Amino acid sequence: MRSIWKGHIRFLLVAIPVRIYNAIETAEKIQFNQLHRDDYGPIGYDKKCKKCGQVVTSDQITKGYQYEPDRYAIIEPEDIAKVKIKTTRAVDIIGFVDSSEIPATFYDSPYYAGPDGPVAEKPYALLREVMKQTGKVGIGKVVLRDREDLVAVFPHEDGLVMQKLHYPHEIRKMKDVPELDNTKKADKNEMKLATMLVEQMVTSLSEIDTVDQYHQALRKIIESKIKGKKVVEFAEVEEIPRLDIMSALKKSLQQSNRKPMVKATAAASKKKALTLVKAEAKPKAAARKRKAS
């Protein structure tokens, strides 16, 4: 795994040398090239002006902020260069908060933070363990590619994760979602049935099917194309029945007879096996007794 950034995680006078790695495996994503259907030649990216239709070069392009329809504030590269953010090559932790204080919508790109050399091992382990014990998440800022990013640092397994966060001004407000006012009340009887259904469906993430079915089906199509085989349809569209909420809850409870998924321990498996052996032995012993008499 190759690092993409090298610096420090710093809080007050404590500085921990770290290397940052991509947490997402981009090589697993299936990507396509645009091709000319007549001769399968790759399609290039032409930068064409939508106003005059002229194909332009990079030096003929500038940036503009649209503040009204068809009106732009022109921002030249030298204007952007004037916005200088102090670069310290450090993730500066501002403070530690409860993870529950960070809305799920704030989380963006995840990265792994690993120790950079033997000198980092002891303080790295100390930060990881103290955050595990306190349940706190470090909130800090770091300058990456001339932009100041808000980040969260938290322990994961034997290491640390640095996750980019959206700034609050970037997040739309939930209250702006249409028709939310009509969803504030919930029927007590429906709540009771829904609670029973949720409790019946309680499991663990390790028991959940997290396989990307679309990725696997697409991979099979690509392999079939390479081998010259006929491509078949993998799935049909499922029709979802429209039921009122009470009927849907009752039918769901009837269909859901499974208990919370708990993996059997070795002792439980042994006890079950002994029970089966005893159960099978009883009819055989009774038969031998009748034969003897």
- What is the secondary structure of 182-206 as a DSSP string? GGS---HHHHHHHHHHHHHT---GG
* Res 92: pLDDT: 93
Q: Tell me which DSSP letter residue 26 carries.
A: G
Using DSSP bridges, classify how beta strands 147-156 and 136-144 pair: parallel, antiparallel or unpaired: antiparallel
Span of 21-35, 199-213, 238-252, 278-292 with lowest mean pLDDT: 278-292
Cβ atoms of 75 and 65 within 8 Å: the answer is: yes
For the chain, the average pLDDT equals 82
pLDDT in tens, 221-278: 888 878 887 776 655 666 777 777 788 888 888 887 654 444 444 445 444 444 444 4
d(CA 227, CA 153): 46
Higher per-residue pLDDT: 29 or 260: 29
How far apart, in whole angstroms, are the C-alpha atoms of residue 16 and residue 129?
A: 14
Please compute the mean of the pLDDT values over residues 172-201 and round it to a whole number: 87
DSSP string, 54-99: -B--GGG--EEEEEETTEEEEE-HHHHHT--PPP-SEEEEEEEEEG
Return the pLDDT at 104.
94
Integer angstrom CA distances of residue 199 from 79, 185, 187, 217, 250: 58, 21, 18, 33, 14
Distance CA 85, CA 145 (A): 10
Domain ranges in the chain are: 1-46+62-184, 190-255, 263-293
Place of tokens 């106003």: 51
Confidence band of 154 (pLDDT split at 50, 70, 90):
very high
37-87 confidence digits (pLDDT tens): 888 888 887 888 988 888 888 888 999 999 899 899 998 888 877 776 676
Which pLDDT score is estimated for 274?
43
pLDDT beyond 80 at 151: yes
Q: Which CATH number fits domain 1-46+62-184: 2.60.40.10, 3.40.50.720, 3.30.500.10, 2.40.290.10?
A: 2.40.290.10
Rounded to whole angstroms, how far apart are CA atoms 62 and 146?
18
Helix, strand, coil % over all residues of the chain, rounded to 5: 40, 25, 35
Q: State whether residue 52 is helix, strand or coil.
A: coil
Given this model, what pLDDT does residue 232 score? 65
CA distances from 110 to 9, 107, 195, 257 (A): 16, 8, 33, 38
pLDDT in the model for residue 257: 62
8 Å CB contact between 31 and 116: no
Total residues belonging to the chain:
293
Instruction: Using pLDDT thresholds of 50, 70 and 90, give the confidence band for residue 139.
Output: very high
Q: List strand residue ranges (DSSP E) for 123-260, in order.
A: 136-144, 147-156, 159-165
Residue 16 vs residues 9, 13, 122, 130, 175: alpha-carbon distances, Å:
5, 10, 9, 14, 41
pLDDT reported for residue 28: 75
Cβ-based neighbour number of residue 130 at 10 Å: 12
